Amino acid sequence: MTGAVTRFTGKRERARRYLRHERPDGSLVEVDVHIPPQAKRAVLFDNGMGAPQEYWDWVCNALPADMGYVRFNRPGYGLSTPNTQYGLEPHFELLQELRDTYIADLPVVLAGHSLGGYFVAAYAAQHPDAVKGVTQVVMIDATEVVSLRHSRRTEVDRWSHQRMLMEQVFAATGLSVFRPAMNTNQQYRPDINRSYTAFLANPRTWAKAYREYRDAMTYPELTHLDCPLTVITAENNIGDNTLHAGIQARLAVISERARHHFVDGADHESILAVQPHAEEVAELIAGEPPSEGLGSSWQPSTTGRRTAESAVERAEELA
C-alpha cells in the first residue's frame, strides 16, 4: 500500500487513513479506512454509478464509535487505476481483497447505494464464502437489474445515454465545474463538496459510468440471499413513486430475514446528501439486523412523519 495519509474529522476526531491500496497486479485503488482500536464491527461501503466514496461522509460520521468502515472508489473512478476487466467477478475479488486487508475477522455489514447496492448483495449471494461474517446486507435505493434491462432502447435509456455523453463533454470542456450534474445543492461539508465537484469534472468519471450502466443490463437477477437484508428506499423519487417502491419491494423478498424501510422525503441523491436522511441510513446500518421475513402482513417502516394510515396505504400499493 502507498500514499497513506492520516486526518482527523468528526466530533470525536476519528483517525482516518486515506490510502492508495496496491493490488497484486500493481494497480491502485483509492480507499478511505477507519478502523479504530475499539472497533467491534465494520461496514464496507460500495458506491453508486458515477459517484465518489466521499458521498458516504454524513453516514460515516453518524456511525457509532465501535463501528469502523472502509469506503473506496472502484477502478476507473477518482484516483483508482482504470481496469480493462469488467463484470461481477473482478468486482467480487476486489471486495474480498478489501475485507481481507482492512477488516480481517471483524463482523461486517455490506452497504451499497444504487448500483453499489446490487453489487454488495450479488457479492454476498454469489461469491464463495462471502457471506461468512456478514451480519447484514443493506441495499440503499438499490438498482434492480431486471427493470434496468427492460428499459433498454426506451426513451429512458436514450435519455440516460445522452445525459452521460453530455456530462462527459461538459467535463472535458470545464463546464461541469459551473454546472455539476450531482450534489447541485452543495449539502456536504465544504471540503467534500470541492472533492465531489472535482470528481464530476473528470471526463473519465462519465466514461466509466456509462460502461457500468451498459454492463449492469447484463447482470443476473438477485433471487436468494442467505443473510439478513435491509432494503432502504427513497420515498420521494422523481417519476412514479409507487412503481419505484414496488421495484424496491421486490428486492426485499430475496432474504428470509428482511425489512423494508422508507426514508420519508428523500430522493435517490438526498438519501445520502442530506444529513438527517444519511443519519437515518446510518442508524439502520448500525442497528440490529432483521431476524424474520416480511410476511404477508408486513408494513414498510419509516421514522419520518408518515402516519399509520398512510403507511397502510403504501403497503396496499406495494401489494
pLDDT at residue 29 greater than cutoff 60: yes
Residue with cell 437477477: 221
Query: pLDDT tens digits for 150-175?
Result: 777 677 667 676 776 777 777 777 76
Higher-pLDDT residue of 200, 180: 200
Asked whether residue 314 carries a pLDDT value surpassing 50, the answer given is no
Give the pLDDT band of residue 16 (cuts 50, 70, 90).
low
pLDDT in tens, 32-56: 999 999 999 999 999 999 999 999 9
Among 67-71, 236-240, 301-305, the range scoring the smallest mean pLDDT is 301-305
Lowest mean pLDDT among 24-33, 91-100, 171-180, 234-243: 171-180
Q: For residue 248, give the nearest of 266, 275, 226, 274 by alpha carbon.
A: 266
- 52 close to 78: Cβ distance less than 8 angstroms: yes
DSSP 285: H
- Cα–Cα nearest to 47, from 19, 71, 16: 71
Percent of the chain with pLDDT over 90: 65
What is the structure's pLDDT at 86? 77
Q: pLDDT (tens digit, 9 = 90+) per residue, 197-251? A: 999 999 999 999 999 999 999 999 999 999 999 999 998 876 678 888 888 999 9
Q: What is the DSSP letter of 23?
A: P
Selection from 211, 36, 38, 20 nearest residue 98 by Cα: 20
Tell me the pLDDT tens digit for each residue of 258-275: 999 999 999 999 999 999
What residues pair up with 258 in beta bridges, in sequence order? 229
pLDDT at 309 over 50: no
Distances (CA, A) of 224 to 90, 113, 149, 313: 21, 19, 19, 28
Q: Model confidence at 304, in pLDDT bands (50, 70, 90)?
A: low
The alpha carbon of 299 is separated from its chain's Cα centroid by a whole number of angstroms, namely 24
Q: Which of 178, 166, 45 is nearest to 112 (CA)?
A: 45
**SS3 sequence, 168-226?**
HHHHHHCHHHCCCCCCCCCCCCHHHHHHHHHHHCCHHHHHHHHHHHHHHCCCCCCCCCC
Are the C-beta atoms of residues 219 and 232 closer than 8 Å to each other? no
DSSP string, 65-114: TTEEEEEEPPTTSTTSPP-S--SHHHHHHHHHHHIIIIITTS-EEEEEET
* pLDDT value, residue 181: 76
Q: For a pLDDT cut of 70, what percent of the chain falls above it?
A: 84
pLDDT score, position 296: 63
Spatial separation of the C-alpha atoms in residues 238 and 106, rounded to whole Å: 38
Residue 316 has a pLDDT of 47
- Cβ(212)–Cβ(283) under 8 Å? no
Q: Indicate the average pLDDT of the chain.
A: 85
